[in-house]
């Protein structure tokens, strides 16, 4: 065993937790007791490993301990005693040691435990669940966040989130733990990627509350997307989504001022942007475009790369961005993409042309969140009002711009965004 500091052990446990849970759910099929057993194994590891050192096969250690705890738990359940004792007798507890890399039932060169992580993601994003339940269950089972952490991220009481997660577990109870068949894979993978991006989106720009950025959620979404990409390295949608997240998160250091105030993209100090992340994201975006037809995530990543690669706001290649948005809105009905296109139109053809494009989006559709990838808050009515206000200000219509800024401020539940929009309105007061 090797001695490791507590931070490294915490990272190791977070990495292996979904793999261990996936292994137990695949073997036993009981989501709730399997999750409890994994938590007990993680607690045991957190207590033992700092003193005894990390075992040579930490994943195998966790699977072995968790399987023993789960077997004990199932044996103590009187109603299921006979069935579970039979299963335990057929499979000795010591048999649950994870196989070495490249070996196991999945065949040479594959890692069965990581395959279990992806299968667990598919299970958490089962179509019987609502998007809110998919997100909560994914964060709990795959992300390893506590119920309290998930509740705080969604600004709901812990008891409410616990009920939501419990209902989601019951809904997928008894579902066969396996990867979807090829004909269903694309649709289910789309749901997985959408859930991961919604988690990132909420972390990058919180829809409500006092904080603009929830670092933990954004980083967790990126970590999980990296895991999916390790398993599906040639899937352009996965590569594109990871590129979009990395390129967007790279701007985080410059998004807020000293007092936490929001700083818009065109006013940010680009010297604060994470250039290492931008280099990685740009390479990923280029790779994603080479992995088949350009989809929503690939196009959004290409747009993000053009923003990040511009040394100054005035150096941004807006004609190219507009061309990419034209492709994007042709592919998806997402109002956020249409609103992004309107901004690009304004930057290429002037604020009046942009206002015409924005006005064409006004109506019931403008208030509905879209399903596509986006790197800014959801395309609610307040977003349309905020863009219109900015374009009206650029066009010299101060009174109309002030009213639009105030309407946008009244429409958002994000306190930093509301403060920013009201400050813009006050700047235009006579």
pLDDT in tens, 62-75: 989 988 888 887 77
Q: Pick the residue with more confidence: 53 or 275?
A: 275
User: Which residue has tokens 């790779």?
Assistant: 287
Residues in contact with 372: Cβ distance below 8 Å, sequence separation at least 6, in sequence order: 296, 300, 328, 332, 334, 336, 337
Quick one: DSSP state of residue 208? E
For residue 157, give the 3-state DSSP assignment. coil
Check pLDDT > 60 for residue 303. Answer: yes
Q: For residues 334 and 371, is the Cβ–Cβ distance under 8 A?
A: yes
Query: Rounded CA gap, 71 and 183, in Å?
Result: 36
Q: For residues 26 and 119, is the Cβ–Cβ distance under 8 A?
A: yes
Buried b (16+ CB within 10 A) or exposed e, 259-287: eeebbeeeebebeebbeebbebbbebbeb
pLDDT band at residue 297 using 50, 70 and 90 as cut-offs: very high
pLDDT in tens, 90-127: 554 444 444 443 333 333 333 445 567 778 888 888 88
Query: Rounded CA gap, 255 and 404, in Å?
Result: 23
pLDDT in tens, 187-234: 788 889 988 988 898 889 888 788 888 888 898 899 889 988 988 899
Query: Rounded CA gap, 181 and 12, in Å?
Result: 31
Q: What is the predicted pLDDT for the residue at 420?
A: 95
Q: What is the predicted pLDDT for the residue at 149?
A: 76
Q: What are the sequence ranges of the domains in the chain?
A: 6-97, 317-430
Q: For residues 285 and 305, is the Cβ–Cβ distance under 8 A?
A: yes
pLDDT in tens, 206-216: 887 888 888 88
pTM: 0.75
Query: Rounded CA gap, 325 and 304, in Å?
Result: 11
Residues in contact with 317: Cβ distance below 8 Å, sequence separation at least 6, in sequence order: 306, 310
Percentage of the chain surpassing pLDDT 90?
39
Query: Rounded CA gap, 115 and 385, in Å?
Result: 45
Query: For the residues 277-304, what does the mean pLDDT come to?
Result: 95
Phi, psi for 210 (deg, rounded to 5) = -85, -15
**For residue 197, which of 154, 230, 240, 164 has the smallest C-alpha distance?**
240
Architecture per CATH, domain 317-430, reads as Alpha Horseshoe (1.25)
Phi, psi for 413 (deg, rounded to 5) = -95, 0
pLDDT in tens, 326-365: 999 999 888 889 999 999 999 999 999 999 999 998 754 4
């Amino acid at each position: 065993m090797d001695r490791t500091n507590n931070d490294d052990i915490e990272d190791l446990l977070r990495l292996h937790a979904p793999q261990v849970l996936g292994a137990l759910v695949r073997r036993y099929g009981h989501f709730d007791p399997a999750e409890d057993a994994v938590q007990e194994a993680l607690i045991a590891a957190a207590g033992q490993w700092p003193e005894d050192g990390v075992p040579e096969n930490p994943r195998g250690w966790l699977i072995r301990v968790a399987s023993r705890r789960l077997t004990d738990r199932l044996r103590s359940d009187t109603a299921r005693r006979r069935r579970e004792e039979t299963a335990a007798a057929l499979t000795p507890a010591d048999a649950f040691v994870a196989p070495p890399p490249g070996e196991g039932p999945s065949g040479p060169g594959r890692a069965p435990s990581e395959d279990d992580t992806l299968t667990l993601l598919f299970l958490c994003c089962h179509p019987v669940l609502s998007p809110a339940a998919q997100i909560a269950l994914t964060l709990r089972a795959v992300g390893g966040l506590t119920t309290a952490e998930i509740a705080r991220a969604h600004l709901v009481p812990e008891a409410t989130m616990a009920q939501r997660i419990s209902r989601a577990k019951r809904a997928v109870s008894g579902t066969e733990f396996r990867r979807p068949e090829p004909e269903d894979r694309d649709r289910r993978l789309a749901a997985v990627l959408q859930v991961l991006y919604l988690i990132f989106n909420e972390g990058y720009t919180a829809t409500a509350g006092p904080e603009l950025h929830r670092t933990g959620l954004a980083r967790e979404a990126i970590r999980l997307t990296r895991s999916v990409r390790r398993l599906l390295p040639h899937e352009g949608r996965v590569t594109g989504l990871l590129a979009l997240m990395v390129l967007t998160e790279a701007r985080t250091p410059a998004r807020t001022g000293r007092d936490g105030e929001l700083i818009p993209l065109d006013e940010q100090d680009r010297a604060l942007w994470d250039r290492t992340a931008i280099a990685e994201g740009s390479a990923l975006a280029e790779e994603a475009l080479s992995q088949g037809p350009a989809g929503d995530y690939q196009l959004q990543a290409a747009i993000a790369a053009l923003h990040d690669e511009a040394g100054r706001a005035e150096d941004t290649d807006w004609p190219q961005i507009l061309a990419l948005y034209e492709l994007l809105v042709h592919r998806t009905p997402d109002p956020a993409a249409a609103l992004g296109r309107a901004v690009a139109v304004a930057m290429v053809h002037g604020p009046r042309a942009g206002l015409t494009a924005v006005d064409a989006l006004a109506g019931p559709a403008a208030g509905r969140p879209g399903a596509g990838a986006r790197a800014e808050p959801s395309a609610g009515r307040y977003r349309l009002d905020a863009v219109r206000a900015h374009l009206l200000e650029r066009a010299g219509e101060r009174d109309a711009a002030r009213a639009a800024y105030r309407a946008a401020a009244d429409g958002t539940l994000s306190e930093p965004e509301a403060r920013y929009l009201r400050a813009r309105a006050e700047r235009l007061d006579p």
